[in-house]
Chains A and B, each alone.
Chain A
Amino acid sequence: MIDLAEDDDQLTIAATAARLLAERDTSPAAAGELWKTCAELGWLALALPEEAGGVGYGACAQVMLFREMGRELAIGPFLANSLAAHAALASGRPDLVESLTTGSLRAALAQAGPPGQVWFFQDEAPADLLLVRDAGGDLRLVEGAGLRIVDALSTVDPAYRLITAATDPADAPALPAPVREYIGSAWQILTAAQLAGIAERVRDMSVGYGIDRVQYGRQIGSFQAVKHRCADMAVRAEAAWAITSLAAVGLDEHLPQVAFDAAAAFVTASNAALVNSRDNIQNHGAIGFTEEHRAQLYVKRAQLLAAFFGTTASRRAALQNAVNPW
């Protein structure tokens, strides 16, 4: 059977990540330190085979890590480097694999825009290399030399900017279909893991506030209106994490249902993160609507992550087209 209980190795990764992320210096100046530490811990190479310099753990370990990153709003191209390293390995580029897993190169995940342009998200540090997903779903590795930045816009998430660059991704070879499918699924599953982490963290914020905050002489979490909203947050978070775990096993074991499960995980976790982060603002009342409170950051990160795997229509089509293994 598919065993979805986390094993000791997986729990250790989560505990290490949770501690490191919770204790980190969150000032923008310290972002480089976290990046370096994560690379040293092998987090950018968790799912790469050991003979390629990776840790050899697979997606089941990666989702534990990315869930913690979602919970703690980690900033940096962790997903982009992890996926680009796979692409580099499949392209016979061990030099790139090493640079991506040690963190000396920074990747970004890009979507093809108008002809001759791509767009991607980037934090303060510039991207050196792009993994581009074009309109047809093909994936290509585009190295940074010759990449001309056309535009840099603020995004909803204060940590990331939306960059438009002039490059023709068709100049780079399309990755072979099995690699494309693996990375396409991993992209959705690891994003789902971050979204599941967000859904869980805002659930916990609401529960904490429901216990601490007193109005009408009572803890507000004793009111069913608040309690039931928290219960629904818990159900959404559980669903998001369960389907993400199922999809991760499917990816590691090359099960035929992984395309469906990855799409289902992305849709379920997007919904969980978006609705839970919204309800968390409601549960906090006016303080939740302020910039000083962290609640709003989760709304914004959820929006950024949920919007960056194709369009709504293409995600729906993916879910319609995949064969449901039920």
Chain B
Amino acid sequence: MRLTDVATDAEFRAKVRDWLADNVPREPRPLERRAGRAFDLAWQRAQYDGGYAGVSWPAEFGGVGMGLGEQLIWFEEYVRSNAPDIGCGFVGINHAGPTLIARADDEQKAFHLPRILRGESVWCQGFSEPGAGSDLASLKTRGVVDGDHLVVTGQKIWTSEADLADHQELLVRTDPESQRHHGLTWIICDMTLPGVDVRPIMTMAGTTEFSEVFYDEVRIPLRNVVGGIGNGWSVAMATLGFERGTGFLREQLELARYIEERLAERGRRDDTVTFGLTQARAEARAMYAMTLRMVSRSAHGQDLGVTASMIRLFYSELRQKVDRLVVDGADADAVAYGADAPVLERYLDGYKVTIGAGTKDVQRNIIGERGLGLPKS
């Protein structure tokens, strides 16, 4: 526990603050999905041109190669500047890109990584299936090698941004005799290939951010396989370590800012909503401290165990608690719904945070079994 690099940090903070002040788009993100995609990619391109695309990517793969301390500052200033959500670029920057960095061959990296960084390519993740949600290893979508192609037939579901994506991280079963996490293959699927059918699903919050994706004998070139046939599970897990970095800090800080804004609106009141939000201020700060401690330990090469799952669980439950408090304090907005009444929209949309990226129950199993050494259920 100590403070380091104070002077360098201050200099770097001033530099990124200035850049963000000059470059953050001021117009709101369009609601229509294709227009939203264009907005997200333009902002990604602006960051690329400014030298801030891929702050947590290594420099040798086109990233900024920032140190962990600089990444923390970047995300703090990013949120303070009201810069937009990463939007549909999320999977490319935070998951597909890092997976390619870890496991792809030189040709695959050279083609895809610059496109992700420059905001020219949107990615989605083809993991979950109707019969394989929390239990991902039970997936059934089939891949059959035919000459120099993999022929894929089956179905994925809950695929965020599939309707906007150019490429997909697709996990399929290539050994029909295999069980569980054996016999899987991770392949880059071009979403424009014949036989790929994307059908958006309406969420309870009234958005179509995720889709079903059907594959009818989709012929994907074998050169798109990452990590070799049959090694898909280890490729899919390759970014677990990466997710333990700063990538998720932006959401955490945005929640902290949201709490401060709602408290400021309420002013000094003696009611349960204000008390709850005051308590939430402390919890949001504790969450930041957890991330800071994880990043610090990572920098020292320590085994982080299940810390990332703990922070994810803490975040998702705090987010839902805060959303509920804001609804409780919202008066007329507690029933109004639509673009001009964001309180309930945020509240309903927030139901997803204890489901996506591993439900809260799965996170608790991970913490209990891998973290605490409790016996499997």
Contact = CB atoms under 8 A, between A and B. Distances in A.
B282 interface: yes
A326 B368 contact: no
A210 B260 contact: no
Interface in A256-314: 260-261, 263-265, 267-268
Interface stretch (A44-52, A142-150, A232-240): A232-240
B63 to A, nearest CB: 19
B271 interface: no
Contact of B289 (A60, A219, A231, A243): A243
A242 B372 contact: no
Interface stretch (A75-83, A129-137, A164-172, A220-228): A220-228
A234 B375 contact: no
A222 B256 contact: no
Interface residues of A, number: 53
Interface residues of B, number: 53
A3 B3 contact: yes
B281 A324 contact: yes
A27 B94 CA distance: 56
Given A4-B296, A6-B1, A245-B293, A224 B364 contact: yes
Contacts of B327: none
Given A228-B361, A234-B371, A326-B260, A260 B1 contact: no
A246 B361 contact: no
B110 to A, nearest CB: 33
Interface stretch (B25-33, B123-131, B175-183, B306-314): B306-314
A255 B278 CA distance: 22
A171 to B, nearest CB: 35
Contacts of A118: none
Contacts, number: 166
Contacts of B314: 235, 239
Most chain A CB within 10 A, of B69, B260, B286, is at B286
Given A1-B9, A264-B282, A249 B2 contact: yes
Interface string B251-284: 0010011001000000010000001001101111
A60 B343 CA distance: 41
Contacts of A263: 282
A263 B285 CA distance: 11
Given A4-B296, A239-B286, 5 more contacts: A3-B299, A222-B376, A223-B377, A235-B313, A246-B289
Interface of A: 1-7, 10, 60, 63, 203, 207, 210-211, 218-219, 221-224, 226-228, 230-232, 234-235, 238-243, 245-246, 248-249, 252-253, 255, 260-261, 263-265, 267-268, 316, 319-320, 324, 326
17 contacts: A3-B2, A4-B297, A228-B364, A231-B364, A231-B367, A231-B368, A234-B371, A238-B307, A242-B286, A246-B285, A248-B1, A252-B3, A261-B285, A268-B282, A319-B282, A326-B260, A326-B288
